[in-house]
Structure 1
Amino acid sequence: MFSKRRSLLLGLTALTLGLAACASKPELSRIQDPDADFHAYRSFAVLPGRPDGSSSLVERRLIAAARLQMERRGYVLDESAPDLLVNVAAVLEDRQRLRPAAADAPGKEAVVTEEYRLGRLAVDLIDARRRDVVWHSTAEGRVSAEMLRDAGTAAEKAVAAVFESFPVKPKARVAASAPASR
Protein backbone atom coordinates (compact mmCIF):
# COMPACT_ATOMS: atom_id res chain seq x y z
CA MET A 1 0.00 0.00 0.00
CA PHE A 2 2.76 2.46 0.90
CA SER A 3 5.54 2.86 -1.61
CA LYS A 4 8.06 4.03 1.00
CA ARG A 5 9.91 1.38 2.96
CA ARG A 6 11.51 1.37 6.34
CA SER A 7 14.94 -0.16 6.48
CA LEU A 8 15.83 -1.88 9.70
CA LEU A 9 19.11 -3.70 9.73
CA LEU A 10 19.34 -6.65 12.08
CA GLY A 11 22.39 -5.38 13.87
CA LEU A 12 20.68 -2.09 14.45
CA THR A 13 18.76 -3.54 17.23
CA ALA A 14 21.89 -3.73 19.22
CA LEU A 15 22.26 -0.05 18.63
CA THR A 16 18.87 0.66 19.93
CA LEU A 17 19.52 -1.44 22.92
CA GLY A 18 22.74 0.23 23.62
CA LEU A 19 21.23 3.65 23.37
CA ALA A 20 18.68 2.90 26.01
CA ALA A 21 20.84 0.91 28.37
CA CYS A 22 24.06 2.87 28.34
CA ALA A 23 25.25 4.50 31.53
CA SER A 24 25.58 7.81 29.76
CA LYS A 25 22.52 9.06 27.96
CA PRO A 26 22.41 8.76 24.18
CA GLU A 27 22.89 11.91 22.16
CA LEU A 28 19.45 13.00 20.96
CA SER A 29 18.56 15.37 18.16
CA ARG A 30 15.39 16.37 16.36
CA ILE A 31 14.10 18.61 13.64
CA GLN A 32 10.49 19.37 12.84
CA ASP A 33 8.45 21.25 10.28
CA PRO A 34 7.62 24.57 11.96
CA ASP A 35 4.33 24.73 10.04
CA ALA A 36 3.13 21.26 11.09
CA ASP A 37 0.28 21.23 13.62
CA PHE A 38 0.81 17.93 15.42
CA HIS A 39 -2.46 18.35 17.32
CA ALA A 40 -4.38 18.38 14.02
CA TYR A 41 -3.19 14.89 13.07
CA ARG A 42 -5.45 12.16 14.40
CA SER A 43 -4.20 8.83 13.02
CA PHE A 44 -1.06 7.00 12.00
CA ALA A 45 0.26 3.86 10.33
CA VAL A 46 3.69 2.29 10.56
CA LEU A 47 5.47 1.93 7.24
CA PRO A 48 5.99 -1.68 6.21
CA GLY A 49 9.38 -3.26 6.87
CA ARG A 50 11.10 -5.50 4.42
CA PRO A 51 9.52 -6.13 1.01
CA ASP A 52 8.93 -9.80 1.87
CA GLY A 53 7.06 -8.87 5.04
CA SER A 54 9.50 -10.60 7.40
CA SER A 55 10.98 -8.94 10.46
CA SER A 56 13.26 -9.82 13.35
CA LEU A 57 12.15 -9.89 16.96
CA VAL A 58 13.96 -6.64 17.65
CA GLU A 59 12.43 -4.97 14.60
CA ARG A 60 9.00 -5.95 15.87
CA ARG A 61 9.83 -4.50 19.30
CA LEU A 62 10.98 -1.22 17.69
CA ILE A 63 7.75 -0.99 15.70
CA ALA A 64 5.61 -1.88 18.72
CA ALA A 65 7.44 0.73 20.81
CA ALA A 66 6.85 3.43 18.18
CA ARG A 67 3.19 2.45 17.97
CA LEU A 68 2.86 2.64 21.76
CA GLN A 69 4.45 6.10 21.81
CA MET A 70 2.01 7.34 19.17
CA GLU A 71 -1.01 5.84 20.94
CA ARG A 72 0.08 7.31 24.31
CA ARG A 73 -0.10 10.70 22.60
CA GLY A 74 -3.68 10.14 21.46
CA TYR A 75 -3.09 9.05 17.85
CA VAL A 76 -5.17 6.16 16.54
CA LEU A 77 -3.77 3.38 14.37
CA ASP A 78 -5.44 3.56 10.93
CA GLU A 79 -3.71 1.51 8.26
CA SER A 80 -6.17 2.45 5.51
CA ALA A 81 -6.13 6.28 5.67
CA PRO A 82 -3.58 7.57 8.21
CA ASP A 83 -2.68 11.21 8.73
CA LEU A 84 0.92 10.30 9.66
CA LEU A 85 3.26 7.54 8.55
CA VAL A 86 5.83 6.33 11.07
CA ASN A 87 9.23 5.20 9.77
CA VAL A 88 11.73 3.59 12.15
CA ALA A 89 15.34 2.82 11.20
CA ALA A 90 18.36 1.72 13.19
CA VAL A 91 21.96 0.88 12.40
CA LEU A 92 24.96 -0.50 14.25
CA GLU A 93 28.53 0.33 13.20
CA ASP A 94 31.90 -0.95 14.38
CA ARG A 95 34.18 2.02 15.02
CA GLN A 96 37.76 2.75 16.07
CA ARG A 97 39.37 5.73 17.75
CA LEU A 98 42.77 6.63 19.12
CA ARG A 99 43.05 7.55 22.76
CA PRO A 100 45.96 8.54 24.99
CA ALA A 101 47.54 5.81 27.06
CA ALA A 102 50.15 5.59 29.79
CA ALA A 103 53.65 5.70 28.32
CA ASP A 104 56.56 3.45 29.28
CA ALA A 105 58.84 6.35 30.17
CA PRO A 106 58.31 9.90 31.40
CA GLY A 107 58.02 12.44 28.60
CA LYS A 108 56.95 9.82 26.09
CA GLU A 109 53.48 9.81 24.56
CA ALA A 110 51.49 6.70 23.77
CA VAL A 111 48.18 6.04 22.10
CA VAL A 112 46.05 2.94 21.80
CA THR A 113 43.36 2.04 19.34
CA GLU A 114 39.99 1.53 20.95
CA GLU A 115 37.28 -0.44 19.15
CA TYR A 116 33.63 0.13 19.95
CA ARG A 117 30.13 -0.13 18.49
CA LEU A 118 28.07 2.93 17.68
CA GLY A 119 24.32 2.64 17.43
CA ARG A 120 21.88 5.02 15.79
CA LEU A 121 18.09 5.06 15.86
CA ALA A 122 15.94 7.37 13.76
CA VAL A 123 12.20 7.93 13.75
CA ASP A 124 10.49 9.92 11.00
CA LEU A 125 6.88 11.06 10.95
CA ILE A 126 5.61 11.72 7.46
CA ASP A 127 2.50 13.70 6.56
CA ALA A 128 0.68 11.01 4.55
CA ARG A 129 -1.22 13.47 2.37
CA ARG A 130 1.76 15.64 1.42
CA ARG A 131 4.38 12.85 1.65
CA ASP A 132 6.71 15.21 3.52
CA VAL A 133 8.69 14.45 6.67
CA VAL A 134 7.28 16.68 9.43
CA TRP A 135 9.33 15.34 12.36
CA HIS A 136 12.69 13.57 12.50
CA SER A 137 14.41 12.50 15.70
CA THR A 138 17.54 10.46 16.33
CA ALA A 139 19.44 8.86 19.18
CA GLU A 140 23.09 7.89 18.96
CA GLY A 141 25.39 6.22 21.45
CA ARG A 142 27.87 3.49 22.22
CA VAL A 143 26.61 -0.07 22.43
CA SER A 144 28.18 -2.52 24.86
CA ALA A 145 27.91 -6.29 25.04
CA GLU A 146 25.74 -5.89 28.15
CA MET A 147 23.28 -3.83 26.14
CA LEU A 148 22.80 -6.68 23.70
CA ARG A 149 21.61 -9.08 26.39
CA ASP A 150 18.12 -7.57 26.64
CA ALA A 151 17.71 -6.10 23.18
CA GLY A 152 13.92 -5.87 23.25
CA THR A 153 13.70 -3.82 26.41
CA ALA A 154 16.61 -1.64 25.29
CA ALA A 155 14.89 -1.04 21.94
CA GLU A 156 11.73 0.10 23.72
CA LYS A 157 13.69 2.47 25.96
CA ALA A 158 15.57 3.93 22.99
CA VAL A 159 12.32 4.64 21.11
CA ALA A 160 10.89 6.25 24.27
CA ALA A 161 14.00 8.45 24.54
CA VAL A 162 13.59 9.58 20.93
CA PHE A 163 9.93 10.49 21.53
CA GLU A 164 10.78 12.61 24.61
CA SER A 165 11.21 15.59 22.28
CA PHE A 166 7.94 15.02 20.41
CA PRO A 167 5.72 18.14 20.45
CA VAL A 168 2.63 16.24 21.68
CA LYS A 169 3.22 14.95 25.20
CA PRO A 170 1.86 11.59 26.40
CA LYS A 171 -1.57 11.70 27.92
CA ALA A 172 -1.80 10.93 31.63
CA ARG A 173 -2.67 7.35 32.29
CA VAL A 174 -6.17 6.85 33.56
CA ALA A 175 -6.05 5.60 37.12
CA ALA A 176 -8.26 2.72 38.12
CA SER A 177 -11.50 4.13 39.42
CA ALA A 178 -11.79 4.06 43.16
CA PRO A 179 -14.91 2.63 44.77
CA ALA A 180 -17.53 5.27 45.46
CA SER A 181 -17.63 6.38 49.05
CA ARG A 182 -20.93 6.46 50.90
Structure 2
Amino acid sequence: MSLKLASPWLLLSCSLLLLAACSSAPRISAEADPTADFSRYRSFAFYNPLAVEQQGYSTMTSNRLRIAVRTQMEARGYSYSEGNPDLWVNINAYLQEKTSVSTMPEVDYDWYYSYRARAYVSVPHWRDRTTVRRYTEGTLNVDIVDARERRLVWEGVAVGTVGRMDPQRRDEKIDQAVSGIFARYPYRAGAR
Protein backbone atom coordinates (compact mmCIF):
# COMPACT_ATOMS: atom_id res chain seq x y z
CA MET A 1 0.00 0.00 0.00
CA SER A 2 1.46 3.35 -0.95
CA LEU A 3 1.97 6.18 1.55
CA LYS A 4 -0.50 8.33 -0.39
CA LEU A 5 -3.21 5.68 0.05
CA ALA A 6 -2.31 4.86 3.67
CA SER A 7 -2.35 8.45 5.00
CA PRO A 8 -6.16 8.91 4.91
CA TRP A 9 -6.59 5.62 6.78
CA LEU A 10 -3.91 6.61 9.28
CA LEU A 11 -5.59 9.98 9.80
CA LEU A 12 -8.99 8.31 10.28
CA SER A 13 -7.53 5.79 12.75
CA CYS A 14 -5.83 8.53 14.78
CA SER A 15 -9.05 10.57 14.82
CA LEU A 16 -11.06 7.60 16.08
CA LEU A 17 -8.51 6.89 18.80
CA LEU A 18 -8.61 10.54 19.87
CA LEU A 19 -12.42 10.51 20.01
CA ALA A 20 -12.39 7.29 22.01
CA ALA A 21 -9.95 8.82 24.49
CA CYS A 22 -12.09 11.94 24.84
CA SER A 23 -15.28 9.99 25.45
CA SER A 24 -13.79 8.26 28.50
CA ALA A 25 -12.36 11.43 30.02
CA PRO A 26 -14.43 13.29 32.61
CA ARG A 27 -16.26 16.49 31.73
CA ILE A 28 -14.49 19.30 33.54
CA SER A 29 -15.71 22.78 34.37
CA ALA A 30 -14.34 25.56 36.52
CA GLU A 31 -15.47 28.94 37.75
CA ALA A 32 -13.59 31.74 39.51
CA ASP A 33 -14.83 34.71 41.50
CA PRO A 34 -14.00 37.69 39.26
CA THR A 35 -13.59 39.97 42.30
CA ALA A 36 -11.00 37.76 44.05
CA ASP A 37 -7.39 38.98 44.09
CA PHE A 38 -5.44 35.75 43.52
CA SER A 39 -2.10 37.59 43.63
CA ARG A 40 -2.29 37.90 47.42
CA TYR A 41 -2.67 34.15 48.07
CA ARG A 42 0.52 32.29 48.96
CA SER A 43 -0.42 29.44 51.30
CA PHE A 44 -3.14 26.82 51.67
CA ALA A 45 -4.44 24.14 53.99
CA PHE A 46 -7.23 21.62 53.78
CA TYR A 47 -10.60 22.54 55.21
CA ASN A 48 -11.40 20.54 58.33
CA PRO A 49 -13.33 18.30 58.02
CA LEU A 50 -13.15 17.69 54.29
CA ALA A 51 -16.52 17.14 52.66
CA VAL A 52 -15.36 13.64 51.56
CA GLU A 53 -14.64 12.81 55.22
CA GLN A 54 -18.04 13.66 56.69
CA GLN A 55 -18.11 10.37 58.60
CA GLY A 56 -15.21 11.63 60.72
CA TYR A 57 -12.39 9.51 59.30
CA SER A 58 -10.20 9.48 56.23
CA THR A 59 -10.28 6.75 53.60
CA MET A 60 -7.78 5.54 51.03
CA THR A 61 -9.64 7.56 48.41
CA SER A 62 -9.76 10.76 50.48
CA ASN A 63 -6.03 10.40 51.26
CA ARG A 64 -5.26 9.99 47.56
CA LEU A 65 -7.37 13.06 46.79
CA ARG A 66 -5.42 15.08 49.39
CA ILE A 67 -2.10 13.99 47.87
CA ALA A 68 -3.23 14.81 44.32
CA VAL A 69 -4.62 18.24 45.27
CA ARG A 70 -1.57 19.11 47.40
CA THR A 71 0.72 18.17 44.50
CA GLN A 72 -1.22 20.45 42.14
CA MET A 73 -1.30 23.39 44.58
CA GLU A 74 2.43 23.11 45.36
CA ALA A 75 3.20 22.87 41.63
CA ARG A 76 1.58 26.32 41.34
CA GLY A 77 3.84 27.78 44.02
CA TYR A 78 1.53 27.60 47.04
CA SER A 79 3.03 26.46 50.31
CA TYR A 80 1.19 24.16 52.70
CA SER A 81 0.57 25.85 56.05
CA GLU A 82 -1.96 24.63 58.58
CA GLY A 83 -1.22 27.56 60.92
CA ASN A 84 -2.65 30.55 59.09
CA PRO A 85 -3.33 29.74 55.41
CA ASP A 86 -4.54 32.22 52.83
CA LEU A 87 -6.70 29.54 51.20
CA TRP A 88 -8.66 26.54 52.37
CA VAL A 89 -9.11 23.67 49.96
CA ASN A 90 -12.20 21.51 50.32
CA ILE A 91 -12.80 18.30 48.36
CA ASN A 92 -16.15 16.64 47.80
CA ALA A 93 -16.93 13.51 45.80
CA TYR A 94 -20.09 11.53 45.37
CA LEU A 95 -21.50 8.74 43.24
CA GLN A 96 -24.92 8.58 41.65
CA GLU A 97 -26.58 5.65 39.89
CA LYS A 98 -27.82 6.66 36.43
CA THR A 99 -29.87 5.02 33.70
CA SER A 100 -29.47 5.75 30.02
CA VAL A 101 -32.31 4.77 27.67
CA SER A 102 -31.92 5.02 23.92
CA THR A 103 -34.32 3.99 21.19
CA MET A 104 -33.31 3.22 17.63
CA PRO A 105 -35.76 2.37 14.85
CA GLU A 106 -35.14 -0.93 13.09
CA VAL A 107 -36.62 -2.42 9.98
CA ASP A 108 -36.97 -6.08 9.18
CA TYR A 109 -38.41 -7.76 6.12
CA ASP A 110 -40.70 -10.73 5.77
CA TRP A 111 -41.29 -12.49 2.49
CA TYR A 112 -44.77 -13.44 1.36
CA TYR A 113 -45.90 -15.19 -1.75
CA SER A 114 -48.27 -13.06 -3.81
CA TYR A 115 -50.68 -15.13 -5.88
CA ARG A 116 -51.58 -12.10 -7.97
CA ALA A 117 -47.97 -11.25 -8.82
CA ARG A 118 -47.01 -14.92 -8.81
CA ALA A 119 -43.80 -14.02 -6.96
CA TYR A 120 -42.42 -13.52 -3.48
CA VAL A 121 -42.83 -9.98 -2.17
CA SER A 122 -40.79 -8.31 0.56
CA VAL A 123 -42.86 -6.54 3.20
CA PRO A 124 -41.06 -4.28 5.68
CA HIS A 125 -42.12 -3.98 9.28
CA TRP A 126 -40.77 -1.38 11.64
CA ARG A 127 -40.06 -1.65 15.33
CA ASP A 128 -38.05 0.25 17.92
CA ARG A 129 -35.02 -1.30 19.59
CA THR A 130 -34.65 0.10 23.10
CA THR A 131 -31.37 -0.18 24.97
CA VAL A 132 -31.20 0.44 28.72
CA ARG A 133 -27.79 0.96 30.31
CA ARG A 134 -27.17 1.43 34.02
CA TYR A 135 -23.98 3.10 35.12
CA THR A 136 -22.45 5.00 38.01
CA GLU A 137 -21.58 8.66 37.55
CA GLY A 138 -18.98 10.22 39.84
CA THR A 139 -18.62 13.92 40.60
CA LEU A 140 -15.47 15.42 42.11
CA ASN A 141 -15.49 19.02 43.39
CA VAL A 142 -12.43 21.00 44.43
CA ASP A 143 -13.36 24.24 46.21
CA ILE A 144 -10.81 26.92 47.00
CA VAL A 145 -11.94 29.31 49.72
CA ASP A 146 -10.46 32.61 50.86
CA ALA A 147 -9.73 31.73 54.51
CA ARG A 148 -9.85 35.31 55.79
CA GLU A 149 -13.15 36.23 54.12
CA ARG A 150 -14.63 32.70 54.25
CA ARG A 151 -15.69 33.04 50.62
CA LEU A 152 -15.47 30.61 47.71
CA VAL A 153 -13.07 32.06 45.13
CA TRP A 154 -12.64 29.11 42.74
CA GLU A 155 -14.37 25.82 42.04
CA GLY A 156 -13.40 22.99 39.71
CA VAL A 157 -15.69 20.05 38.94
CA ALA A 158 -15.05 16.76 37.11
CA VAL A 159 -17.96 14.49 36.17
CA GLY A 160 -17.50 11.08 34.59
CA THR A 161 -18.45 7.43 34.54
CA VAL A 162 -16.99 5.37 37.35
CA GLY A 163 -16.48 1.63 37.48
CA ARG A 164 -14.83 -0.93 39.72
CA MET A 165 -11.06 -1.04 39.43
CA ASP A 166 -8.00 -2.08 41.34
CA PRO A 167 -6.44 0.45 43.78
CA GLN A 168 -3.53 1.36 41.49
CA ARG A 169 -5.83 2.12 38.57
CA ARG A 170 -8.18 4.07 40.90
CA ASP A 171 -5.24 6.22 42.08
CA GLU A 172 -4.26 6.92 38.46
CA LYS A 173 -7.82 7.98 37.62
CA ILE A 174 -7.95 10.26 40.69
CA ASP A 175 -4.63 11.86 39.70
CA GLN A 176 -5.88 12.37 36.13
CA ALA A 177 -9.17 13.92 37.28
CA VAL A 178 -7.46 16.29 39.75
CA SER A 179 -4.85 17.21 37.14
CA GLY A 180 -7.65 17.92 34.65
CA ILE A 181 -9.44 20.12 37.17
CA PHE A 182 -6.29 22.11 37.94
CA ALA A 183 -5.55 22.54 34.25
CA ARG A 184 -8.43 25.05 34.48
CA TYR A 185 -6.81 26.86 37.44
CA PRO A 186 -4.79 29.67 35.79
CA TYR A 187 -3.35 31.23 38.97
CA ARG A 188 0.04 30.96 40.67
CA ALA A 189 0.99 31.86 44.21
CA GLY A 190 1.69 35.57 44.57
CA ALA A 191 1.74 36.16 40.78
CA ARG A 192 0.76 39.60 39.58
TM-score bin, normalised by smaller chain: 0.7 to 0.9
Between Structure 1 and Structure 2, the one with more helix by share is: 2
Aligned residue number for residue 34 of structure 1: 34
Counterpart of 1:7?
A: none
Call closer, same or farther: CA 1:51–1:72 in 2, change over 3 Å.
same
C-alpha separation in 1, matches of 2:104 and 2:36: 50
Structure 1 runs (4+) greater than 4 angstroms displaced: 101-104, 146-149
Match of 1:125 in 2: 144
Q: Report 1 or 2 for greater relative contact order, CA contacts < 8 Å, sequence distance ≥ 6.
A: 1
* 2:63 alignment partner, one of 60, 63, 70: 60
> Is 1:79 the equivalent of 2:82?
yes
CA distance in 1: counterparts of 2:153 and 2:104, whole angstroms: 45
- Distance in 2 between the 1:130 and 1:136 partners? 16
1:16: which partner in 2? none
CA RMSD of aligned residues (A): 2.4
**Against the structure 1 CA distance between its residues 57 and 148, is the aligned structure 2 distance closer, same or farther, given a 3 Å change threshold?**
closer
Aligned residues: 150
Cα shift readout 1:32-53 (whole Å, capped 9, x = no counterpart): 1112122220100011233675
Which residues of structure 2 form unaligned runs of 5+?
Answer: 1-20, 109-124
Distance 2:165 2:23 in 1: 11
Give CA-to-partner distance per residue, 1:141-170, whole Å, 9 cap, x none.
112335876212211111111100002269
How much does 1:104 deviate?
7.5
Aligned to 2:180: 161
Tell me which protein shows more strand as a share of its residues.
2
Supply the distance in 1 between the matched residues of 2:138 and 2:107 (Cα, whole angstroms). 34
Residue in 1 aligned with 2:5?
none
- Give the share of equivalent positions with the same residue, in percent: 35
Contact (CA 8 Å) 1:22, 1:147: kept in 2 or not? no
